[in-house]
């Protein structure tokens, strides 16, 4: 995959985190930079760890083989992964699941950590797809780390200022970006 496709996947995944942080930002009583930074770092850590864990599929012999038949199957599988994650995010955008906004003085770090783990499952599957497409591991991780920390911080700020109803927009844009990444990969690699 080229840099553009890695960027699309990273931005799409980070917007899932952005939506979660919009909800978190909507309930915080006071904007505290260090708490926001810690929460954004927590999500970033889990996203990158999940991506790297998914990338371990590179170690399997059938993935590392360079025969055209195996590469074609891997490419189709990767396209399906990116498109499925994108469609899942689009469904979350259209569901408009209600969210009760009430200010909380304390951050529930245990619940936040659990949420970060659950959200990172998308990054795990994306890591599998990126590994099959034989992308450069450090570029994947760096792009995801930068986009996630920025999206998480922006999400908290948007939620704090504008409320939780903005999360659907993050899901929508993220889903579109992941579907575009799948289509871009299909156009470039299925010839």
In a domain, 119, yes or no: yes
Total domains present in the chain = 1
Residue 33 lies in a domain: no
Residue 117 included in any domain: yes
- Residue 17, in any domain of the structure: yes
pTM: 0.85
The string of pLDDT tens digits covering residues 102-129 is 777 888 899 999 999 999 999 998 888 8
Give the span between the Cα atoms of 67 and 90, in whole angstroms. Answer: 35
Among 9-13, 82-86, 132-136, the minimum mean pLDDT is found in 132-136
Q: Indicate the average pLDDT of the chain.
A: 88
In the chain, % of residues over pLDDT 70: 94
What pLDDT is attached to residue 26?
87
> Does residue 175 fall inside a structural domain?
yes
Contact call for residues 96 and 168 (beta carbons, < 8 A): yes
* Region of residue 96 (left: phi > 0; alpha: psi -120 to 50; beta: else): left
Give per-residue pLDDT as tens, 127-178: 888 887 878 889 999 999 999 999 999 999 999 998 888 889 999 999 999 9
Residue 186: which residues within 8 A CB-CB, separation 6 or more?
A: 79
CA dist., res. 41 & res. 52, Å (int): 16
In a domain, 101, yes or no: no
Q: Which residues contact 139 (CB under 8 A, 6 or more apart)?
A: 3, 6
- Considering the domain boundaries, does residue 102 fall inside one? no
The range of the structural domain enclosing residue 132 comes to 3-28+38-96+107-189
* Burial of 110 per CB tally in 10 Å (0-12, 13-18, 19+): exposed
CA distances from 147 to 14, 35, 69, 126, 186 (A): 6, 19, 34, 15, 24
Q: What is the pLDDT of residues 54-65, one digit of tens each?
A: 988 878 776 666
Residue 81 belongs to some domain of the structure:
yes
């Amino acid at each position: 995959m080229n840099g553009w496709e890695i960027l699309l996947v990273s931005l799409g995944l980070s917007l899932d985190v952005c939506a979660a942080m919009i909800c978190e930002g909507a309930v915080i009583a006071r904007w505290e930079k260090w708490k926001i930074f810690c929460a954004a770092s927590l999500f970033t850590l889990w996203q990158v760890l999940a991506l790297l864990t998914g990338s371990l599929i590179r170690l399997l012999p059938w993935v590392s083989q360079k025969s055209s038949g195996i590469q074609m199957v891997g490419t189709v599988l990767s396209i399906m992964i990116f498109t499925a994650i994108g469609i899942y995010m689009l469904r979350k955008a259209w569901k408009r699941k209600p969210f009760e906004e009430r200010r909380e003085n304390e951050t529930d770090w245990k619940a936040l950590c659990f949420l970060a783990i659950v959200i990172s499952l998308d990054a795990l599957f994306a890591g599998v797809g990126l590994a099959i497409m034989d992308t450069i591991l450090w570029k994947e991780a760096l792009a995801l780390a930068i986009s996630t920390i920025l999206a998480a911080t922006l999400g908290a700020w948007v939620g704090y200022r504008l409320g939780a109803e903005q999360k659907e927009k993050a899901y929508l844009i993220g889903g579109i970006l992941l579907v575009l990444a799948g289509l871009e990969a299909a156009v470039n690699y299925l010839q």
